[in-house]
Structure 1
Amino acid sequence: GILYLNDFVPRELSAEDLEPLTILTSFASMSVANARLYEATKKLAATDGLTCLYNHRQFKLSLEQELNRAERSEKPLSLLMFDIDNFKKFNDCYGHPCGDLVLSRTALSLREVFRSADFIFRYGGEEFTVLMPDADREQAINAADRARQQIEQMSVCIDEADRPLKITVSAGVATYPTDGVNAQTLLSTVDELLYKAKNQGKNRVYSTCVDALCASG
């Protein structure tokens, strides 16, 4: 940073005059450094180390904040939950480095699909959540299916000798206030919808609207 001092009377400053300014500059420098350290620590506390997405703790805080905002503005808020299909096989058959790669690539695809106004989280394990402020059910379903399709086109290779490993996800979509008016009911609804998507064959998106099923061919 820059510390600017102006003396309206031109004069030469002695070493004694400059000493308090030097001390003041040192304190200002330490304050800036502490502020930067605080922001960096705050960011680390809210971020998942592997995917660089927001973590579960930040999800709970953001969900409450966005629900309050949606209630005040009387606008919808959509919650999406994704689960990587058959994720256990990546770890069991190819090792945890493969599982980590699948998680990272999935996170990258989600970043590419969703709006800058949306919040993407690693909810835990192989599950991801997305908060879409001001997005109604139809918008959220379309976004979820775009993400599903993009991830379906993706593959990972452990080494050059191995065939590419395909990745698919299942998803549930719930929208405030239609599918829930608080965090607990909204989470319960989206979790149930995700379970249905997994149970009905995986690689698909489910919402409370029966016609909203989007499945792979």
Structure 2
Amino acid sequence: FIFTSSIVLVILNFLIHSPYQNNTPIILVFTVYNLLGMLISYQFSKDIETEKKAFLHYESVSKYDYLTSVFNRYSFDKDLTALFKQEKLVTIFLLDINNFKHFNDTHGHDIGDLILKKVSSSLLNASFPQHKVYRIGGDEFVLVIPSALSNKAIIETKAKIKQQISQLTIQLDNQFVIRISTSIGSSSSKPSQTIDELYRQADIELYIDKKSKSTSS
């Protein structure tokens, strides 16, 4: 469109100021040039659109987990680093699914994938303030809230997450029902604390929570 608009103005200007009596051959040359330019411009615009779609695709792949559509480990590291650089306090909840390996090995990877999708969907739909959900590997998820929650709020958030996950079930063909549960560790950042220290504290709590379940069972 830009090319055509420009060349039409050139032709009109030529016709107005042309000293020649027979302008037909020159106009034909301009017209052919215009058509070629339009075709080249059209192809160029198509190539740009294709490149744009490819860029958006690769950007999405780099940020999101392909299976669950939540953010991936790369996004977790990048986002947390940005929050720490801005000196913002955060609270993280580190989760993993209880007995996931057993479900995966016993009932197949399709059921394992379905469990991961259900858990991620439940976490995404949770009503926490400005929270983000990341799958950082296997059956491990991280929920990040961009504020330092009080101990009471952390306990309440854990309870709410566990309650939501416990309501998830999968009905198998043999009438067997898989009930899903999760173990959770949490950590609230403090001034001068590093990301590794924040994550390690949540990981320790997760281990304790998971061990308490295996001991009680």
TM-score normalised by length of structure 2: 0.77
Of the three residues 87, 110, 115, the one matched with 2:100 is: 87
Q: Distance in 1 between matches of 2:205 and 2:3?
A: 59
Secondary structure of the residue aligned to 1:38 is helix
Unaligned runs of 5+ in 1: 203-217
- 1:50 to partner: Cα distance: 1.8
Unaligned runs of 5+ in 2: 13-26
- 1:146 to partner: Cα distance: 1.7
Structure 2 residue aligned with 1:124? 137
Structure 2 residue aligned with 1:210? none
Residue 151 (1) aligns with residue 165 (2) = yes
Secondary structure of the residue aligned to 1:113 is coil
Richer in helix (by share): 2
Structure 1 residue aligned with 2:82? 65
Matching of residues 125-140 of structure 1 within 5 Å: 125-137=138-150, 138-140=152-154
- 1:82 to partner: Cα distance: 0.6
Of the three residues 49, 67, 73, the one matched with 1:32 is: 49
Structure 2 residue aligned with 1:187? 199
- 1:5 to partner: Cα distance: 6.8
Secondary structure of the residue aligned to 1:200 is helix
Runs of 4+ aligned structure 1 residues displaced above 3 Å come to 2-13, 114-117, 137-144
Structure 2 residue aligned with 1:164? 177
- 1:24 to partner: Cα distance: 2.6
Q: Distance in 1 between matches of 2:2 and 2:167?
A: 53
What are the Cα deviations for residues 88-120 of structure 1, in whole angstroms up to 9, with x where unaligned? 221233222222221111111111115583221
Question: Residue 30 of structure 1 aligns to which amino acid in structure 2?
Answer: D
- 1:142 to partner: Cα distance: 3.2
What are the Cα deviations for residues 174-206 of structure 1, in whole angstroms up to 9, with x where unaligned? 11126x72111011111001111112237xxxx
- 1:141 to partner: Cα distance: 4.2
Of the three residues 106, 111, 117, the one matched with 1:104 is: 117
Paired residues of 1:114 and 1:143 also in contact (CA < 8 A): no
Q: How many residues align?
A: 195
Q: Distance in 2 between matches of 1:3 and 1:90?
A: 60
Secondary structure of the residue aligned to 1:14 is helix
CA separation of 1:14 and 1:4: change in aligned 2, threshold 3 A: closer
Structure 2 residue aligned with 1:208? none
Whichever of the two has the greater Rg, that structure is: 2
Structure 1 window deviating more from structure 2 (39-48 vs 133-142): it is: 133-142
Secondary structure of the residue aligned to 1:201 is helix
CA separation of 1:140 and 1:31: change in aligned 2, threshold 3 A: farther
Question: Residue 68 of structure 1 aligns to which amino acid in structure 2?
Answer: K
CA separation of 1:114 and 1:182: change in aligned 2, threshold 3 A: farther
Paired residues of 2:89 and 2:148 also in contact (CA < 8 A): yes
